[in-house]
Structures are given as C-alpha cells and as structure tokens.
Amino acid sequence: MLKIGDKEFKSRLFTGTGKFSNNNLMRKSLEASESELVTVALKRVDIKSDDDDMLKVLSHERINLLPNTSGVRNAKEAIFAAQLAREALETNFVKLEIHPDPKYLLPDPIETLKATEELAKDGFIVMPYIHADPVLCKRLENAGSSAVMPLGSPIGSNKGLKTIDFLEIIIEQSNLPVVVDAGIGAPSDAAKAMELGADAVLVNTAIAVSPNPVEMAIAFKMAVEAGRMAYEAKLAASKNFAEASSPLTSFLD
C-alpha cells in the first residue's frame, strides 16, 4: 500500500479529469483505471452548486479527490485556491500547481516552495508539481511537503520521461513518496517510471485523448502494476558485455 498523508492507496495510478470528450466516458475510464486518487482543477468545478456534473461523476467511494491549483500564478493565489478547495471539497489534499507561463506550463519553483511552507503549516497534505529537480525536492521535504510530483516532460506533451536521469536521483534521495507526473504519453512510460522505483504516476492526457479512453485506462493500470512488480522483484543489472545464459563449453569436455 502507498501511504500519503493519512490515506493509503492500493492503486499507484493517479489520474486526471481534463480533456475527456464527455463526463460519461470520463466516468467509465476512471472506473476502468481503478484509480483511487483523482485530480480535479478547482476552476472546472462549480463549488457553489451541490449538483455539479463533474463532482457527481467523481462521487464514488473508491475515489479520493485531489484538487489542483492549476490556473494560479503565484504562491498567494495558490494558497487562496487551496483554502477554497478545502472548504468546498472537504479534503486537505492539494496538488500544488503554479505555472505562470501558459506556453510550457512549467512550474515556478520559488513560488511553489513558498506556498508549500504556508500550506503545510496550515495542515494541508501538499503534493507539489515541480520540475525534476533533486535539490528542490529536498527543500520541499524540509518545508513540510507530503509527496513530490516531478514532471516527466511538459503537461500534455506526451513526450514521456525526458527527465529520467534526474528522476532517478530524486527517487534515490527522497524520503517522501515520488509521483511522476505530466507528459507520460504511453503505458511503457508509466511502467518505466515504476521500474525506476517511483511510488506512483499521474496520467491525464494520454488516457483522456485516446479514441478509446477505457481501454487506455486499463493499459495504464496494467503497466503501472507490471512496473511496480518488476521493481519489487528487482531488475537484473545491465552489462556492457555478453554473458551466456547456458554453459558454452562443458558438453565438449
């Protein structure tokens, strides 16, 4: 089981709710993914209504909501958004996303560190979306973060694990759960992240934009399970030379 804050998760596939062509398909693919932590942008929910369509789809006993602060430009706005989300969605989990530049959506590390410190003091389970920066991960750990969410590549790019060398350092050094987030374009990327020892992955675009999001959700679920299993069973080391699988000479003796 993976533990973050006070919650335990059997599934290590976290999912997003953007870009689905309709809520019914979203519901079916979230079900198929068996994901237990689902991120939702606060700006996409009508927090004044008890009858919001998105929230109705997400009100399933297996699903824990992970509100994200997407759309905010600095720590002050992020803190405000997190407080609104806590009130409206009755969870102290928050995916802290501060990416002021709309072209690359790259996270602002300084504002993210500031907001993490404040939110952690205020009792939030903070899961910051960050560049794959091992030094920043350590700073966030000291600031009270509950997990770190380094990016594989830019959000929605489907480019896979472009930051792999830094993800390996983060995983090696981290005392917090490491959730590889963003840019995971194929189940093989998710499996690779899990084989490296990531604690979980977060996938949105690759599932939501597939012509068959339900099948794709299942493919990601299986890939995450396979990658985790391989990590636990310990992968054989790679070598720069060949090593025969069976004896080459003994039968000639």
Ligand X SMILES: CC(=O)[C@@H](O)[C@H](O)COP(=O)(O)O
Annotated binding residues for 1-deoxy-D-xylulose 5-phosphate, written as ranges, equal: 156, 182-183, 204-205
Q: Any catalytic annotation for residue 138?
A: no
Closer residue to ligand X, CB minimum distance, 16 or 227: 16
Q: Is 69 in the site for ligand X (CB under 6 A)?
A: no
Q: Is 108 in the site for ligand X (CB under 6 A)?
A: no
Q: Is 181 in the site for ligand X (CB under 6 A)?
A: yes
Q: Is 202 in the site for ligand X (CB under 6 A)?
A: yes
Residues 6+ apart with CB under 8 A from 117: 143, 144
Q: Is 189 in the site for ligand X (CB under 6 A)?
A: no
Of the candidates 43, 48, 76, 95, the residue annotated as catalytic is 95
- Least distance from C-beta 188 to ligand X, angstroms? 14
- Least distance from C-beta 177 to ligand X, angstroms? 16
Contact 95, 67 (CB under 8 A): yes
Dihedral sign (CA 137, 142, 143, 149): positive
User: CA 139 from chain center: how many Å?
Assistant: 19
Which residues carry out catalysis?
95
Question: Where do contacts with ligand X occur on this chain (CB under 6 A)?
Answer: 16, 18, 39, 68, 155-156, 181-184, 202-206
